[in-house]
Amino acid sequence: MSHAGHTVIVGASSGIGAALAQELASRGHTLVLIARRKAELESVAASIKDSQRGARVITVVHDVSDLDSVGGAFARASDALDGRIDRVVYAAGIMPKVLPDEFDTAKDASMMAVNVVGAMAWLNLAASEFLKRGSGQIVGISSVAGERGRVGAPGYNASKAAMTSYLESLRNRLDRHGISVVTVKPGFIGTDMLRGVEKTFGVMSARDCARVIADACERRRQSFFVPWWWGLIALAVRSVPSFIFRRLRV
């Protein structure tokens, strides 16, 4: 197996993060997988080791909303990778169900904690380490949901708009130092998160999504939609004037 680098995936116990772990292992990456659920993490690691002979996969149980423990988890990941992390993928995210007449600050705060502040805590550490070395890659899973404020999910939309903007700023800071920052904006991907979501269309499998992300990382792409045609929808949605968008109930 060729050696393609040391990758840390935060949010790797299911969905896109787990599928990306499988895909990157098949491309020769050594992996540290991070999430809260130990049994699920270990099952992802075991299935990678089953299918990829000789794959090196380490698991670290960690809750990204516990900010005081991020430094320790980052150090454990780095130690497990012989002191060298080449890439950090932030795939952790939550999207609790929010009713149209519900304005729940606790839910909104939990989304901001996991989808945004946890990302900042992990990716700031990655950025400063990569900056010292002059190389490295940061990959953040944002969403098409960050493109416009919709009626269905104000807190989730806001968290993804913040993630997209934060990643763009990181890129603008780090690109000149040789560090790649990749923003992934998925549409509907068939994972646990999508369960119970009404009115979906064009759902892509986590496995196919992972392939697209892995290719994009290799090509050091900056920002992209997956599937690609969500870029056209996003363009159309962004160009609808506010006074019309408000009436659409999307």
Ligand X SMILES: NC(=O)c1ccc[n+]([C@@H]2O[C@H](COP(=O)([O-])OP(=O)(O)OC[C@H]3O[C@@H](n4cnc5c(N)ncnc54)[C@H](OP(=O)(O)O)[C@@H]3O)[C@@H](O)[C@H]2O)c1
Q: 85 vs 116, which CB is nearer to ligand X?
A: 116
Amino acid sitting at position 234: A
Identify each DSSP E strand in the chain by its residue range.
6-10, 30-35, 57-61, 87-90, 137-141, 180-186, 189-190, 204-205, 223-226
**Residue 167 CB, nearest approach to ligand X (Å):** 12
| Structure token digits, residue 142 | 């944002």
Question: Residue 168's CB: how many other CB atoms inside 10 A?
Answer: 16
Whichever of 31 and 92 has its CB closer to ligand X, that residue is 92
Closest distance to ligand X from the beta carbon of 1 (Å): 25
Q: Which is nearer to ligand X, 133 or 238 (CB)?
A: 238
DSSP code per residue over 182-203: EEEEE--EESGGGTT--S--SP
**Total number of residues that touch ligand X (CB under 6 A):** 30
Least gap, CB of 3 to ligand X (angstroms) = 25
* Under rule CB under 6 A, residue 146 binds ligand X: no
97 in contact with ligand X (CB under 6 A): no
Most distant pair of Cα atoms in the chain: their distance: 57
**Residue in 22, 52, 137, 143 binding ligand X, rule: CB under 6 A:** 143
Q: Is 120 in the site for ligand X (CB under 6 A)?
A: no
> What backbone phi and psi angles, to 5 degrees, belong to 179?
-105, 130
CB of 241 to ligand X, least distance (A): 25
- Pick the closer one to ligand X by CB: 12 or 31: 12
Tell me the per-residue interface mask from 178 to 207 with ligand X, x by CB under 6 A, - otherwise: --------x-xx-xxxx-------------
Q: Which residues are catalytic?
A: 156
Q: Which of 43, 47, 78, 94 binds ligand X (CB under 6 A)?
A: 94
Which residue has tokens 């009404």?
A: 198
Cβ proximity to ligand X, 34 vs 85, nearer residue: 34
Only segment of 8-16, 124-132, 169-177, 242-250 that touches ligand X (CB under 6 A): 8-16
SS3 130: helix
List the structure tokens of 147.
């493109």
Encoded tokens for 158: 């806001």
Tell me how far, at minimum, the Cβ of 207 lies from ligand X, in Å: 12
User: Quick one: angle between helices 118-133 and 70-80, nearest 10?
Assistant: 50
Q: Does 64 bind ligand X (CB under 6 A)?
A: yes
**DSSP β-ladder status, 180-186 and 57-61:** unpaired
Residue 140's DSSP bridge partners are 90, 183
Instruction: Catalog residues that contact ligand X under the rule CB under 6 A.
Output: 11-17, 35-37, 40, 63-65, 91-95, 114-115, 141, 143, 186, 188-189, 191-194
